[in-house]
Amino acid sequence: MTIAHHLDDATVLRYAAGDLDEAFAIVVSSHVAMCDQCRKAVRDAETAGGLLMEDVSPAPLGEGAFERMMERIETVGEEGSIRAKAKPPAPAQPGLPAPLARYIGSSLEDVKWRTVAPGVRKCDISLPTKTGSSLFLLQINSGMSIPEHGHGGDEMTLVLKGAYRDEFGRFGAGDIADLDEHIEHQPHVEPDGPCTCLVAAQTPTRFRGLLMRLLQPVFGI
Amino acid sequence: MPDKKPGTQMAGAAASLAIDRRGGINLAAYHRDLLARMADGRDRDAFREIFEYYGPRVKSWLVKSGSDSALADDLMQDVMMTVWRKVDLYNPKYGAASTWIFTIARNARIDRLRRSSSQPYLDVETIELASDEADGEDETFANQRAELVAEALAELPDEQKQVMELAFMEDLAQSEIAEKLSVPLGTVKSRMRLAYGKLRSKLEVLQ
């Protein structure tokens, strides 16, 4: 898979530091699962995190801290240990990275799609923790355009299947559009098939219903 | 920074080597060997050394992240127990001991302090372990990368180092960093990009 659009550098650092909420972390980890380059970038940022952690002045632990922990390990037993090497993950459907499959199941076709506008289907993904962001799948028919729009907050779009094109180029499977709120764009889905994306978006109260506003205009070709 | 805890004792000649060369890459190599001994033989002495070095640092880091001392002790224990249990999954090819232990501590911070989920990170780790990337990477390569990252960090201008520390150590969100420093969010983002750019340009010699 050739990936042309990667994570913003600031996003790599935020992900490595654990600053992204669950919705954005799922989109980023799904991209990272597909992209060797960003996986390495995250690793480098985590290396920086490890060095910064090593550099703190150590806090005293109190007498016998190690022994107390070993007692805990013995009480619980070693069943939690991972003695075998990690098993390979179940072969994921193409375009369905493992971090996403955990939330939506094993097939993009089997999720509960609902039509939100002609040619546009959406599936909200509910998360166990409440965040200020929403996470959803969007499937847009081939040849369609979305009116030019900005975003009410940060937004990340990962293409899972198909492709679209906008001012920033062509976004195919594995590409991520890591946009901040100031960017406006007008995506056109390529003619050879529908485009399925995973989107995380901040939900600013002022712009509630933004998506619907976007999708309402005469949406066809 | 000096280790303030006089009670910390490391046994054996190898340990004194690590102390002599503290801060150098040999300490990293020594820690990697300790993890290997833990994985191969469930070596408790090796684990004790890892615990005595990283335990106080993980705890201090958790306190900086906003945890009180008792919770930090508890979480530190969880982190170190995970180190013991998952040591077979540590692959030196993907980074130093400190990198790996950092990711475990960060995941604990996400799960317990932020009350979110570290599952996406764990899934990526599984994929990484399963993929046998024929990328010519090995331990030496990982060590070189770690050295260059350390150099880049040391050379960062103060205001970039500061945003890195606030994000990684104090667990502040971008918006909180902006508030704390009384600068616009965009400034925080651009400082982070500059900081990462420094890392990237250092690492380019290896690409």
State which residue of chain A sits closest to B130, comparing Cα positions. Answer: A88
A78 in a domain, yes or no? no
Q: List all residues 6 or more positions away from A61 whose beta carbon is below 8 Å from its beta carbon.
A: B5, B55, B56, B59, B73, B76
- How many distinct structural domains can be found in chain A? 1
Which residues of chain B make contact with A32, given a CB cutoff of 8 A? 124
The vertex-A102 CA angle with A99 and A103, nearest 5°, equals 100
* Other C-beta atoms lying within 10 Å of the C-beta of residue A104: 18
**Structural domain for A171, as ranges:** 1-52+95-221
What is the reported pLDDT for B146?
Answer: 87
A81 in a domain, yes or no? no
State which residue of chain B sits closest to A69, comparing Cα positions. Answer: B77
What is the reported pLDDT for B86?
Answer: 92
Mean pLDDT of chain A: 83
A154 in a domain, yes or no? yes
**What confidence category does residue A186 fall into, taking pLDDT thresholds of 50, 70 and 90?**
confident
Q: How far is B137 from chain A (nearest CA, A)?
A: 11
CATH number at B156-207: 1.10.10.10
Which residues of chain B make contact with A10, given a CB cutoff of 8 A? 174, 189, 192-193, 196
The pLDDT of residue A83 is above 60: no
What is the reported pLDDT for B20?
Answer: 40
What is the reported pLDDT for B179?
Answer: 96
Q: Which of A65-74, A175-184, B103-112 is predicted most confidently?
A: B103-112
Q: How far apart are CA B87 and CA B37, in angstroms?
A: 10
Q: How far apart are CA B48 and CA B54, in angstroms?
A: 10
SS3 (DSSP) at A7: coil
**What confidence category does residue A117 fall into, taking pLDDT thresholds of 50, 70 and 90?**
confident
Question: Which two three-digit tokens encode residue B36?
Answer: 């290997």
State which residue of chain A sits closest to B121, comparing Cα positions. Answer: A29
Question: Cα–chain-centroid distance for residue A169?
Answer: 20
Residue by residue, pLDDT tens for chain B (207 residues) are 444 444 344 444 444 444 444 455 588 889 999 999 999 988 999 999 999 999 999 999 999 999 999 999 999 999 999 999 999 989 888 889 999 999 999 999 999 888 889 999 998 988 887 776 545 567 777 888 888 999 999 999 999 999 999 999 999 999 999 999 999 999 999 999 999 999 999 998 876
Q: Which of B116, B156, B207 to mutate to test the interface with A (most CBs of A within 10 A)?
A: B116
What is the reported pLDDT for A182?
Answer: 66
CB A162 within 8 A of CB A193: yes
List b or e across A122-155, with b for residues whose CB sees 16 or more CB atoms inside 10 angstroms.
bbebebeeebebbbbbbbbbbebbbeebebbebb
Percent of chain A with pLDDT over 70: 81
Q: Does any CB of chain B come closer than 8 Å to the CB of residue A64?
A: no
Give the start-to-end residue ranges of the domains of chain B. 13-141, 156-207
Question: Cα–chain-centroid distance for residue A212?
Answer: 22
DSSP letter (8 states) at residue A120: E
Mean pLDDT (whole number) for A197-202: 92
A62 in a domain, yes or no? no
Residue B146's nearest CA partner among B72, B203, B106, B201 is: B203
Q: How far apart are CA A171 and CA A70, in angstroms?
A: 51
Whole-number CA gyration radius for chain B:
18
Strand partners, B71: none
A63 in a domain, yes or no? no
Q: How far apart are CA A170 and CA A166, in angstroms?
A: 7
**What confidence category does residue A93 fall into, taking pLDDT thresholds of 50, 70 and 90?**
confident
CB contact under 8 A, A180 and B7: no
CB contact under 8 A, B123 and A18: no
Mean pLDDT (whole number) for A162-176: 93
CB contact under 8 A, B127 and A44: no
Which ipTM did the prediction report?
Answer: 0.87
CATH topology of domain B13-141: Rna Polymerase Sigma Factor; Chain: A (1.10.1740)
A83 in a domain, yes or no? no
CB A34 within 8 A of CB A174: yes
More confident residue, A42 or B25: A42
CB A138 within 8 A of CB A111: no
A70 in a domain, yes or no? no
Residue in this structure with the two tokens 């669950």, named with its chain if needed: A22
* Closest Cβ–Cβ partner in A10, A13, A86 for B126: A86
One-letter-per-residue 3-state SS of B51-119: HHHHHHHHHHHHHHCCCCHHHHHHHHHHHHHHHHHCHHHCCHHHCCHHHHHHHHHHHHHHHHHCCCCCH
Mean pLDDT (whole number) for A154-164: 93
More confident residue, B20 or A39: A39
Q: How far is A220 from chain B (nearest CA, A)?
A: 36
Give the CATH number for residue A9: 2.60.120.10
Residue A102's nearest CA partner among B118, B129, B102 is: B118
A194 in a domain, yes or no? yes
SS3 (DSSP) at A77: coil
